[in-house]
Amino acid sequence: MSFFRTLIIVMAGIATWPQVANAQQHEDVNAANNPLTPKITLNFHDYYVPELGGLPGDRQANQFLLRGLVPSDLFGAPQLIRFTLPVATAPEFPSGYTTGLGDLTLMDVFLIPGKEVSFGAGPLFVLPTATDDALGNGKWQAGIAGVAVAPQGWGLIGGLATYQASFAGESDRNDVSLATFQPIVNFNLKDGFYLRSTAIWNFDLESGNYSVPVGFGVGKVFQVSDKVTMNPFVEPQYTVFDHGRGNPEWQVFVGVNFQFALGK
């Protein structure tokens, strides 16, 4: 956690916003933040939740996400294969916490490039790899993911929507029917800096619970070399609408992304 705390302090210490980026910086920042950029990508993300709503006591949670994205042209179709493996800490009841692996999510997005708006869509699978009942659903799940991205003169706008439902798994665990939507809004500044808002809205269609957070953060794109781009960021997120127990009252989303250019 020391790395992420240091990152928060560094990014939060920016007192004067740079001016709007020039054209080349603008393109580089957009490419670093576009989820449809066809580059090998490795993400280290962390959600720290200092307060969970509706639970007794002062309960917290944390979820570190190891994410990767690999471009592919399997069967002659351009696509992006993405995985997400959580390492989570969640409260146990009546007291204490448990830490371990969560459920592995796999996504295969087929690309539909466009001049103004690019699209992607494909299947989504969730494997019940959690090491504790509190860290996963205990169900095999399948669904679909869709994403649209429109680069703008000022930055980037887009959205990622997913739906997943359980079809097998532990019979004594609740079925899963989950929809999510992630609005993506970036405003580019000078010197690789940008403002961001990417909070994920969750809708549990099985229980009727939902959570709609809004985020506002800052990041900076660094060109480490002609083949490697680094993109650290921090984004506090506050839940403006929710229903049900255990939703974050607010959380801090922090991380660093690495993109690796293909070819020689």
Q: What is the pLDDT along the chain (264 residues), one digit of tens a residue?
A: 444 554 555 455 543 445 555 777 788 899 999 999 999 999 999 999 998 887 777 789 999 999 999 999 988 899 999 999 999 999 887 778 999 999 999 999 999 988 899 999 999 999 999 999 999 999 999 999 999 999 998 999 999 999 999 999 999 999 999 999 999 999 999 899 999 999 999 999 999 999 999 999 999 999 999 899 999 999 999 999 999 988 999 999 999 999 998 765
CB 202 within 8 A of CB 164: no
Whole-angstrom distance, CA of residue 76 vs CA of residue 136: 35
Q: What is the predicted pLDDT for the residue at 202?
A: 97
Q: What is the predicted pLDDT for the residue at 15?
A: 38
Q: What is the predicted pLDDT for the residue at 1?
A: 47
Q: How far is CA 150 from CA 77, 156, 158, in A?
A: 21, 6, 6
Q: What is the DSSP letter of 150?
A: E
The tally of domains found in the chain comes to: 1
Q: How far is CA 123 from CA 24, 82, 108, 110, in A?
A: 34, 11, 6, 9
CB 252 within 8 A of CB 47: yes
Whole-angstrom distance, CA of residue 193 vs CA of residue 213: 23
Amino acid at position 57, single letter: G
Q: What is the predicted pLDDT for the residue at 74?
A: 84
CB 81 within 8 A of CB 75: no
CA–chain centroid gap for 190, Å, is: 24
Rounded to two decimals, the pTM is 0.88
Q: What is the predicted pLDDT for the residue at 219?
A: 97
CATH at 147: 2.40.160.40
Q: What is the predicted pLDDT for the residue at 153?
A: 83
Range of the domain at 86: 2-260
